[in-house]
Structure 1
C-alpha cells in the first residue's frame, strides 16, 4: 500500500503546486449578467465594461488599480449608485497604490473642516453644519467619509462654493475680478469658456423650460474647471497617488465637462469613467475619442427611479432667489 501511494505522489504534488498558484481573486465566482428585471430595488446595481462583461467591485478595483483618476458619476440620491461608490472605494483602498477621494459634494472653502473631521477634531454634527454638507450626507456620503477616515486617506473638497457660482451665473466671469484673494482661490484659476462640445451640450439642455445663457454656462464650467483643477493640483503634489471622484453624471457624460478640463491640465493622466444609467434608459454615448489620451467608460446599471410626477401633475415652483454678490456692488 505504501508503494502504491508513492506512485501517485508526483501527481498529487503537481496538483498541490497548481492550486497554490491560483490567485485568490480568481477564486471569486464569475459574475452573472443582471437584467432590468433583476434590479428590483434601488440598492441593486450591475457594473459592466464596454464589452458588456459584468464585474464585481473586487474585480473592478483590481482592473482599475493602475488608473490615475476614476470618476464615478451619480444620479444624486440614487441609493444603488451610492452603495456602489462605497463598495468600489472600499476595494480601491485595498490596492497597493494610495487612493484619495475627491468629492463634488464639498467645496474648497470647507477643506479645513473636512480635514478636521478626518483627524477626529470635529464630531459629525459640527462637521456637517460647518462644512455645509448636502442634506443627504448621512444616507448618501457618510459611508465614503467613514472609509476615508478609517483608512486615514485624504478627502479633497473639490468643488467651487455655490454662493460664488451663483454670482457668476448672474454677472458672468467678470465677477471673479471683484473677489478678494482668498475667495478667488476657491475657483479655478481659468475657466474654459470656448465653444466646445460641452458648451453645446449644456446650452441645449433646457432647465425648467428656460434656455441657458452665457453667464449660466460660465457658472456651470466653474464647477467643472474647479473640480478638474483640484484633482490636477493634488496629483501634482502627490504623483504616486490616485483619485476617485464622486460627481453628477452630466459632468462626465461623453468624456466632456470635468473630464475634458482635467485632460487640458494634464493630458497624460489615465482616466476611467463609470457612468450610471437606469434600467429604462439607453446606454450612454462613448467618450469623445479626439483627445490625446481618451478615457475608458464603464456602465453602472441601476433600477429606475420612481416617477417624480404623474401625468397631469404640475411642475413644482422653482426659485433659488436672488444671489448675494456683495463684491460686485463695491
Structure 2
C-alpha cells in the first residue's frame, strides 16, 4: 500500500495535510485513492474534498470514479461534463440517481474546473435486484464473470465478512436466506468499481468516491484489484467518532463528529412490519 501503516487522523490534521500537498510526480506508477464516506455526513465530505482539492491544485489530474453514478449512465455523464459549467447542471439531469447531491457538488465542480474525468461506477439498483434473483450472469457480462472468477464460490473469509456487513447494515433484522442472496449484489458493485479503476489506471491516477463499506481493505474493492495496483493504492476511511473499530480496514482513518440523524433502524423496522 502507498501508506504502509494505518494512521488515525483528526479532521483538522487531514485539512492541514491537504494544504501541504506536494508536487505530483507524473512518471510514478499509477496512484489509486479509495476514499470512503458516511453518505450523509457533511464534515466527512468536506474533509475528503479538501484532501483531493489540495493535491489537484498542485497539479494532480486523476480520474474521479463515483459510486453515485450508475454505470449505464456513463455516456450521459460524459456528455453532461462536456456541456455543463456547473455541478448543479450535472446533478439536476433527469437520469441522475437520488443522493444528497449538495454534498458531492464541490467535488463535481472541481472535476469540471480542472477537466478531471468523471466515471460512473455503480451497479444500479435494478441490476443488483437481478443479481439477487438470478446470480451474477443476470446483470454482468460473461467476460467480467470469468475474469473475476465469479462462477466459483467466494473465499470463506470474504463471504463471511460480506454476510456480517449486510446483516449489521440491516439492523440484524434480515432473514439469513435473504442476506445470503444479497452478497452477490454487493460483490458485483465492488467488482465493477475495481474494473473501472483498473481500466482508468492504465491512463492516469484514480480516486474512488464510495461508501466506507466499498473501500474496506478486506471486503470491498481492494481484493478485486490486481496485486500490482493494490501496491499503489491508499485506502481512506472517514468514520464518525461514535463508530467503533475499523482501524485495520483503512490505511488512513479520519474521524469526524457524528451527524445528527433519525435512527435508521426504526425506519427499517417499520418497513419490515409492513
Q: Which runs of 5+ in 2 are unaligned?
A: 1-8
* TM-score, normalised with respect to structure 2: 0.78
- Structure 1 residues 246 and 200, CA gap change in structure 2 (3 angstroms): same
- Structure 1 residues 57 and 302, CA gap change in structure 2 (3 angstroms): same
**2:38 aligned to which of 60, 63, 75:** 75
Deviation at 1:223, TM superposition (A): 0.2
Query: Residues 92-147 of structure 1: CA distance to partner in whole angstroms, max 9, x if unpaired?
Result: 2124443111111112211112112221259845753344233311x111111110
Q: Which residue of 1 aligns with 2:100?
A: 136
Query: Is residue 68–residue 99 contact of structure 2 (8 Å, CA) maintained in 1?
Result: no
- Structure 1 residues 267 and 199, CA gap change in structure 2 (3 angstroms): same
**1:157 aligned to which of 94, 107, 120:** 120
Ranked by relative contact order (alpha carbons within 8 Å, sequence separation 6 or more), the top structure is 2
CA distance in 1, matches of 2:48, 2:242: 21
Q: Which residue of 1 aligns with 2:240?
A: 278
Q: Which residue of 2 aligns with 1:204?
A: 164
Which structure 2 residues correspond to residues 33-72 of structure 1 after superposition, within 5 A?
A: 45-47=11-13, 55-59=16-20, 61-62=21-22, 68-72=31-35
Deviation at 1:190, TM superposition (A): 3.7
Q: Which residue of 1 aligns with 2:196?
A: 230
- Structure 1 residues 261 and 126, CA gap change in structure 2 (3 angstroms): closer
* TM-score, normalised with respect to structure 1: 0.66
The structure with more helix, counted as a fraction of residues: 2
CA distance in 1, matches of 2:54, 2:121: 22
Q: Over aligned residues, Cα RMSD in angstroms?
A: 3.3
- Structure 1 residues 135 and 310, CA gap change in structure 2 (3 angstroms): closer
- Structure 1 residues 89 and 250, CA gap change in structure 2 (3 angstroms): same
CA distance in 1, matches of 2:83, 2:65: 19
Query: Is residue 254–residue 284 contact of structure 1 (8 Å, CA) maintained in 2?
Result: no
Q: Report how many aligned residue pairs link the two structures.
A: 252
Q: Which runs of 5+ in 1 are unaligned?
A: 1-32, 35-44, 49-53, 178-183, 288-295, 322-330
Query: Is residue 277–residue 283 contact of structure 1 (8 Å, CA) maintained in 2?
Result: no
Structure whose alpha-carbon radius of gyration is higher = 1
Deviation at 1:186, TM superposition (A): 11
Query: Is residue 109–residue 186 contact of structure 1 (8 Å, CA) maintained in 2?
Result: no
